[in-house]
A and B are shown apart, each in its own frame.
Chain A
Amino acid sequence: MSDTATVENATPKVEAKLIPIYIMGKMYEVPETLTIMKAMEYAGYKYVRGAGCRGGVCGACATVYRKPGDYHIRVGLACQTVVEPDMYLTQIPFYPANRAKYDWEQIKGECEEVYEAYPELFRCLACNACTKVCPMEIPVMDYVSAIKRGDIEKANELSFDCIQCGLCSTRCMAEMAQYHIAQMVRRIHGRFHTPQSKHCEEQVAAIKDGYYDDALAELKALGTMDPTTYEETPGIKKLIELYQAREGEPHTAEEFWTPESDYALLKSNGK
């Protein structure tokens, strides 16, 4: 089902009180139960970009707002934040932020490589504006500090919930793009500082050894859809059947669930 919002499905079925909000300075009356994103659609804005996942994880809909009588800058994700009366808001779907280029194959996993890619790290004055503007409540300045002292593990841990919305970089007086730096650090952490997945290596080796070759050939032999009529051939019907009957981890599976099928996943018992 498409999740595209329209005026119809953005309008609540139950009568909600209308409150005034100001989108880029212009006042609109919107139902008080809506998120900022739905309220903007209710007010007539159409998202071409900057809507993103609508689930609070992609960072596309970062929004800044203020309320009368309060000098603080407030932030939220438009898809998650419910409107408040008299909020003045604008969405910041994109903010220029340079991402360093580096050859991942050449990276050795040392913090100096991060410093070389992002020397602006050392312009940080610990003003903490980044932390204050993070809609995920990440202690951004603290992870920047951790990177500066070479503590990759700590920086990884502190920045892990980052959704790359980029609001930190909009406020940085050192003009850095903290979230790109943190991403490089998390990559380094993942590759050099965490135990590597042994079963993944085994699985890849098994694929290379031809463990799935027969199964793949069997599927390929089922043929393709008729390229002119797009009609389902018996082979395709069989393919759909197999797909629908495939074994997957149930939503309510136990922690140590393992598949029954030999083909579903290479088992650790030496197959």
Chain B
Amino acid sequence: MKLGYYPGCTLKTKAINLEVSAVKSLEALGVEVEELERWNCCGAVYSLADDDLVHLLAPVRDLIRAKDQGLDKVMTLCSMCYNTIARANLLMRKDEEKRDAINNFLEEETDYFGEVDVVHYLQFVRDDIGWDKVAAAVKNPLKDLKVGPYYGCTLTKPGEIKIDDSIEPVSFKNLIEAIGAEYVAYPDAETCCGSYQIIGNPEAALKTTATIVESAEKRGADALILSCPLCEYNIGRRQADVRGLREGLEPLPVFYFTQLLAIALGLDIDTLHLDRNMPEAQKLLEDKGILATA
């Protein structure tokens, strides 16, 4: 099976641990991804202004590239890319007037009418592969690892492009169970990590992140999984700053969900690129006997 793939900028550098583990895991599950030959930054944030067509040019251009490449489905890994591209796609399907304006402006490109389906990796694994098959492919079940899901905002909101229930999503729960780990429920799995506030108002972002970490730790999570490089930055790589804000917080390793999937599927540790995670991540996997100690 071949699947169109839009990586997004971060996945080529800072979040290469997301890309490699994701692509290799899909290979192990029998799916080969076909990366878009030409693609540009999707813009990362979907503009909420109704007449702001210019911010749609970038994601629509990516969709046109997918169409030109003969793909009828394009998969994203970063939650923000998913959100931006899926919403742009929806607009191209539904809003005839704006679609015409955009196609008219993008006259050097193929006309686009929303022909390509946009899916998120998690959604693809759930719907096109299935948790049973994932569970059957697990070679290294992550026993004794208590994992909390972190959905963030952009996978499940707004409703028209959500990949799962907006209030009570279960995809990560199903994944955690499929890879043999223990699912930990906690109330802040969809609390915003602070997103881009980390740049302009870092304290606000770190505060909300502290709430997420505290809430997951109280319910016994050893680790969190997520799918968004910006959430990972705020909750994972900035966690030392987070812990500085609130007493009693312990390091809570944060993984991309595809990293735990990859290790459960028995893939080589190199596919995880753990040097890109917070330092406690690798140690946790070693302590739990999931990775052989170096």
List residues of A whose CB falls within 8 A of some B CB.
Answer: 111, 124-128, 132, 139, 141-142, 144-145, 148-151, 173
Contact = CB atoms under 8 A, between A and B. Distances in A.
A125 B55 contact: yes
A127 B54 contact: yes
Interface residues of B, number: 17
Contacts of B12: 149-151
Contacts of A125: 43, 54-55, 57-58
B43 A148 contact: no
B57 to A, nearest CB: 5
Given A125-B55, A132-B108, A142 B38 contact: yes
Interface string B55-68: 10110010000000
A148 B9 contact: yes
B293 interface: no
A134 to B, nearest CB: 12
B39 interface: yes
A151 to B, nearest CB: 6
B39 A145 contact: yes
Contacts of A127: 54, 57
Nearest to A110: B13
A141 B39 CA distance: 10
Interface of B: 8-10, 12-13, 38-41, 43, 54-55, 57-58, 61, 106, 108
A150 B58 contact: no
A128 B13 contact: no
Contacts of A150: 9, 12-13
Contacts of A139: 38
Contacts of B9: 145, 148-150
Contact of B41 (A111, A126, A173): A126
A124 B10 CA distance: 16
Nearest to A132: B108
Given A125-B43, A128-B61, A173-B54, 16 more contacts: A124-B40, A124-B41, A125-B54, A125-B55, A125-B58, A126-B41, A127-B54, A127-B57, A128-B108, A142-B38, A145-B9, A145-B41, A148-B41, A149-B10, A150-B9, A150-B13
A128 B43 CA distance: 14
Nearest to A154: B12
B57 A145 contact: no
A178 to B, nearest CB: 13
A131 to B, nearest CB: 8
Nearest to A144: B40
B40 A141 contact: yes
Contacts of A126: 40-41, 43, 57-58, 61
20 contacts: A124-B40, A125-B54, A125-B57, A126-B40, A126-B43, A126-B57, A127-B57, A128-B57, A128-B61, A128-B108, A139-B38, A141-B40, A142-B38, A142-B40, A145-B40, A145-B41, A148-B9, A148-B41, A149-B41, A150-B9
Contacts of B41: 124, 126, 145, 148-149
A12 to B, nearest CB: 36
Contacts of A111: 13
Q: What are the 6 A-B residue pairs with the smallest beta carbon separation, nearest first?
A: A149-B9, A126-B58, A145-B40, A150-B13, A126-B40, A149-B12
B195 to A, nearest CB: 16
A257 to B, nearest CB: 38
Contacts of A144: 40
Nearest to B8: A149
Q: Which of A126, A128, A145, A150 has the largest count of B CB atoms less than 10 A from its CB?
A: A126
A132 B105 CA distance: 12
A125 B53 CA distance: 11
A128 B58 CA distance: 9
A151 B41 CA distance: 12
A8 B257 CA distance: 74
Contacts of B40: 124, 126, 141-142, 144-145, 148
Contacts of A142: 38, 40
Contacts of A124: 40-41
A149 B10 CA distance: 6
A237 B11 CA distance: 66
Nearest to A145: B40
Nearest to A151: B12
Contacts of A148: 9, 40-41
